[in-house]
Structure 1
Amino acid sequence: MGFPVDLRRCQALGLAGTAFLALGGETAGALPAHDFLAPGSVQAVLGLVGVYFGVVLLIAAWVLLGGVVRGPEPPTPRSLLLVLAVWAAPLLLAPPLFSRDVYSYLAQGAMVDAHIDVYAYGPAQLGGPLADEVAPVWQQTATPYGPVFLVVASVLSALTRGQLPAGLLGMRLIALLGVALMAAALPRLARHSGADPAAALWLGALNPLVLLHLVAGAHNDAIMLGLLGVGLVAARGRWPVLGVVLITLAALVKAPAALGLVAVVALRSRGRGPRALLRHTVTTATAAAATTVAATAAAGTGYGWIAALKTPVSPHNWSPTSLLGRVTGAALDQLGSGLAPFALPAWHAAGLLVTAALLLFIWLRLRPGPVYALGLSLAAVAVFGPAVRPWYALWGLFLIAAAAPTGSVRTRVAAASAVLALTVLPSGAPADVEQVILAVSGGVLALVVLWQAHQAARPQSPVRERTA
């Protein structure tokens, strides 16, 4: 008999993981400048080890929970939602983890509140303590986010009056709202796609990436995915226009969600012939355009967000195409070629072409269900785009979780999630060798504890008494 596993044990183990995450983040997280500790200090070292100890415990709890979900008596979706709430609870008041993007959100909200054009200037234009919290690489960078998110950030800025603790809590609550919308949409999308609702929740909402980056990191991808999910639910039901409105609002948070409009057309016209396709295409485009105009006018930020979509194409971003561009540029520079400056833009353009080709293949040749096709499409955008972050994987993963046709697909996606959960330091800063060693030490310590628990749970073999 192995380690005894049931829903309550998984819940307790995951809670221990997120509790260690929150405690470790107090000294090793993406802290405000006045709370920042030197990486070599005792508190920072213990915090980094503690965070990775917690991450491995959380991953282990999630993997074990997956076995329970696939077992003979799987938990109900309601039970899994309770597990999600329990796991997320310690992170509610924790400092930001794994990224400093939340400080950029707050600064951009303050800029809108101060009538500074966020599509022309970076947070440095705002100045002051709040702008100082933004990572140096983004100080001069215009925002790539749409007017819907900027309205949310501006309202939060006005409510919190620039107070950092209140602003951080507000952003985390907004992210939690997005996660709640994701969790509400997943079972409904799964049933529509013929998938198991409990398995969809396990992979798409209880995933460590959701807790680490959408909850602990408070990324605005949460509200984008939440609106996208409920929009798809509405579109496949009785409210297709409402679905288009919600998906358009999601795209006006972050642009990749606009691909959801293709899924709406496919959902409404599937199997109904060319006339239905044309009718639903026109209806969807009209509703999306009207929503875009109305939302942009209400935000008062103008249409600068269209030009600002190039912001992720920053020389500081990493992705397969960016890596190839840097390597090619360095090689050309060594050869003395004048083409070296064009290497990075050329590879970015190649990535866009590959993405376009994949999207056409998915929708026109592969032709899976609309929700699954959308998940594959967003995954392609994340992988071959000019910038890759671990939380970008959630764009496609969320919908693949809802509509994956086989268990083998879920297994591969789950394995990739577990790996990505280990790739970013809690401070959000680049890693050095010492920090990698500390992080690995924390993870190994967690594995040792789990192994000892496994061994202690095994029944002892009976000892035979010696006979004289």
Structure 2
Amino acid sequence: MATTTDPVPGAPSLGEDTGVPADGHPEARVREPSRFPYRTISMGTIGSVLLLLGALGAGGVLIRDPVIGTGPLSWVRYGHGRMLANAVLYAGFGLLMWAWVRLGRYMLAGRIGTRPILVAAACWMGPLLVSPPLFTRDVFSYLGQGAQLLHGLDPYAHGPAELEILPNIVQNVHPVWQTTPAPYGPLFLLVAKGVVALTGDNVIAGVIVTRLVLLIGLGAVIWSMPRLVHRLGGKLPVAMWLAVASPMTVIHLVGGPHNDLMMLGFLSVGLVAALERKHAVAIVLVTLGMLIKPTAAVALPFLVWVWANHLPGESRVKNFFKAGALSVGIFAVVFVLGTWVSLGSFNLGWVTGLQAPTLVTNWLNFPTGIGQAVYTLVHLVINVPESPFITAARALAMLALAVFGVRQWWKSRFGGNEAIFRAALTLLATAILAPPTLPWYLTWGFVVAAAFPWRRRHLAIVVGVSIFLVMAYYPTGEQALYDWWFVAIAIALGVYAAASLLRPDPLGLIGAWRRQTGAAPVEEGGQVPAA
């Protein structure tokens, strides 16, 4: 089946035809297969409900909870009750992951199109909208920083601990972030200020309203994905399965929740605008995304090349300088106005606030892990502090990232799809090399890359990585990366899930059970051929 655009040179390729037209344009008529994966969607929904129930005892619960508090259900947060809550939560996680992998198999076999994937994602996200925060406590920091702005305390100069009112919000901010300045863009702090103005000191309402507001970003991603797929040569069901129904989105970005979701909304719509030659709009949108979370700025230099290659004339140099000057001018206006409107002044304190997340040190950030490994070896011989090793490794990694980013930018000089592909690679490299690396950071590149062609084995790798990245933190939001038995289990589950995307029951466990019990196959739509 021919595509409407040529794939990006060097980009992944799905390989076999999935039965879904690569033309994901909104006007394209896609005939959905007759089978609808009701059981798979129901399995994931049950898993999501179990995540909700388990999170009441094992998630990011409040220090003083007005719902459970010290009442008859308070036992779920202590001792054996806490263990039971964790068991329920991880059982729900397992069901949700199993459902996502099954959905992926049906998609690759061409048995489902885009609509069942979006229905599944909606069903899986629904229960998590009212859940306690999952695998993070960042949302409490959002509320704390919004409360600071609301009550006249500069979030870029003070930590939430200095706020003397709204004690319920302040006491639930993680201790690490109690005294650190906000690392988020001013536009997001304005959003958080609006949430706190609406919900006050009611933290539960604040978490729910934050999630609902962040769904605007999810809606923007869903709107933009067919248009990106149409331009970038991917396949719409694959893109939606990766960018919307994935556990990185369902559990981390929505269940968390994380403001990366809103940033990705601005970024994805901005990329659509750039590819459709609405370049001024693209720069405005991506700059607004940067004012939510600064990472979006990584994409801006690549958009200059896209603009330059759309300009008429034979002088590539003149077109580049013209596009660059226009881009810088638009960026400056939006940056200044956005900061002024959000904060009431041109406050650049948020730039220095970007240092706050570097307090997080764990080996999920590749250079930090290298520094810790070298320190461990040296420490066997001589007693030295760890921090110089981490600092040196991070400095070298930032240099490598700068070289990589410039190289990708230069390779994008012919604009078009190549520039978007290189931007996605640079976003992924930023998440991996710049400190810190938090699991949901990898969605920056995943969402953009989802619109390109993919090979089956690459999709399997994404499955394994996604499952590990959800399990890298405990449901409470504390890291699990130094619990080596837990890490080994997470890696094993990720590898098994990755293999399961390409071949149902790769270890033959279910097949052996069926032969022993005489049970009939239960896979919807039958077996999916291996790649």
TM-score range (shorter-chain normalised) is 0.7 to 0.9
Q: Which of 445, 457, 460 does residue 520 from structure 2 map onto?
A: 457
Gaps of 5+ in 2: 1-34, 66-73, 498-504, 523-531
Determine if the alignment matches structure 1 residue 82 to structure 2 residue 119: yes
What's the secondary structure of 1:118's corresponding residue? coil
**In the alignment, which residue of structure 1 is the partner of 2:351?**
306
The answer to whether 1:380 aligns with 2:429 is yes
Distance 2:427 2:191 in 1: 24
What is the letter of the counterpart of residue 521 of structure 2?
Answer: R
Superposition deviation, residue 38 in structure 1 = 7.8
Query: 1:74-113 alignment to 2 at 5 Å?
Result: 74-75=112-113, 77-113=114-150
Equivalent residue for 1:270, pick from 284, 288, 309: 309
Instruction: Name the CA shift for 1:452/1:433 in 2 (closer, same or farther; >3 Å).
Output: farther
Residues 1:50 and 2:88 aligned together: yes
The 1-side partners of 2:477 and 2:131 are apart by 15
Shift of 1:134: 0.8
Question: Could you report, residue by residue, the CA deviation over 1:44-98 in whole angstroms, capped at 9, with x for unpaired residues?
Answer: 11211111111111111111111111223431x3442222111111111111111
Q: Which runs of 5+ in 1 are unaligned?
A: 460-468
In the alignment, the residues of structure 2 paired with residue 216 and residue 30 of structure 1 have an alpha-carbon distance, to the nearest angstrom, of 11
Distance verdict in 2 for CA 1:452–1:134, change over 3 Å: farther
Is 1:346 aligned to 2:385, yes or no?
A: no
Number of residue equivalences: 449
Give 1:155 shift: 1.1
Using the size of structure 2 for normalisation, the TM-score is 0.78
1:42-441 to structure 2, matched below 5 A, reads: 42-75=80-113, 77-127=114-164, 128-270=167-309, 273-300=316-343, 302-314=347-359, 316=361, 318=363, 319-329=365-375, 341-365=387-411, 369-404=418-453, 406-431=455-480, 436=486
Contact 1:312 1:387 in 2 (8 A): yes
Between the aligned partners of 1:292 and 1:86, the Cα distance in structure 2 is: 37
SS of corresponding position for 1:395: helix
Q: Are 2:236 and 2:451, in contact at CA under 8 Å, matched by a contact in 1?
A: yes
Q: Residues 7 and 329 (structure 1 numbering): CA distance in 2 closer, same or farther, change over 3 Å?
A: same
Q: Distance in 1 between matches of 2:458 and 2:309?
A: 24
Percentage of pairs with the same residue: 32
Q: Is the 8 A contact 1:101 1:219 kept in 2?
A: yes
Q: CA deviation at 1:161?
A: 1.8
The 3 A distance-change label for structure 1 pair 199 and 338 is: closer
Distance in 2 between residues matched to 1:346 and 1:418, nearest whole Å: 31
| 1:454 positional shift | 8.3
Deviation at 1:154, TM superposition (A): 0.8
Residues 1:41 and 2:79 are matched in the alignment: yes
Equivalent residue for 2:60, pick from 18, 27, 30: 30
Give, as a single letter, the amino acid of the residue that structure 1 aligns with 2:105.
Answer: G
Separation in structure 2 between the aligned mates of residue 92 and residue 69 of structure 1, nearest angstrom: 26
Shift of 1:29: 0.8
Contact 2:158–2:179, Cα closer than 8 Å, also in 1: yes
Q: Distance in 2 between matches of 1:89 and 1:339?
A: 47
**How far apart are residue 361 of structure 1 and its match?**
3.0
- Counterpart amino acid of residue 130 in structure 2: L
- Distance in 1 separating the partners of 2:241 and 2:388: 44
Asked whether the 8 Å contact 1:6–1:68 carries over to 2, the reply is no
Distance 1:451 1:181, change over 3 A: farther
Q: Deviations over 1:329-381 (max 9, x none)?
A: 56666766888653322221111111112223323348872222111111100
Deviations 1:280-303 (A, max 9, x none): 222111111110000011112611
Distance in 2 between the 1:72 and 1:333 partners? 55
User: Is residue 49 of structure 2 the alignment partner of residue 10 of structure 1?
Assistant: no
CA distance in 2, matches of 1:29, 1:434: 21
Worse-superposed segment, 205-214 or 66-75: 66-75
Q: Distance in 2 between matches of 1:429 and 1:109?
A: 23
**Which deviates more from structure 2 when the two are superposed, residues 207-216 or residues 7-16?**
7-16
Distance 2:442 2:110 in 1: 30
Structure 1 residues 232-252: Cα deviation after superposition (integer angstroms, max 9, x where no partner): 112222532122111101111
For residues 458 and 410 of structure 1, do their structure 2 counterparts lie closer, same or farther at Cα, with a shift above 3 Å needed?
closer
State the Cα RMSD in Å. 3.0
Counterparts of 1:170 and 1:247, CA distance in 2? 24
1:200/1:401 contact within 8 Å kept: yes
Q: Which amino acid aligns with 2:321?
A: L
Aligned-partner residue type, residue 288 of structure 1 = F
Q: How far apart are residue 311 of structure 1 and its match?
A: 1.7
CA distance in 2, matches of 1:249, 1:180: 16
Once residues 397 and 169 of structure 1 are traced to their aligned partners in structure 2, the CA distance between those partners, rounded to angstroms, is 26
Task: Give 2:469's aligned amino acid.
Answer: L
The CA distance in 1 between the partners of 2:412 and 2:277, in whole Å, is 28
Contact map agreement 2:159 2:177 (CA 8 A) in 1 = yes
**Which whole-Å CA distance do the structure 2 matches of 1:311 and 1:274 have between them?**
39
Question: Displacement of 1:191 after TM fit?
Answer: 1.2
Q: Distance in 2 between matches of 1:110 and 1:282?
A: 38
Residue 471 of structure 2: SS of its match in structure 1? coil
Cα separation, 1, equivalents of 2:426 and 2:79: 44
1:103-137 Cα offsets, whole Å, 9 max, x none, are 00000000011111111111111142311101111
8 Å contact from structure 1 (residues 112, 118) kept in 2: yes
Between 1:276-285 and 1:391-400, the stretch displaced more is: 276-285
1:137-159 superposed Cα distances (whole Å, 9 cap, x missing partner) = 11111111010100001111111
More helix by share: 1
The 3 A distance-change label for structure 1 pair 334 and 162 is same
AA aligned opposite 1:160: T
Contact 1:186–1:402, Cα closer than 8 Å, also in 2: yes
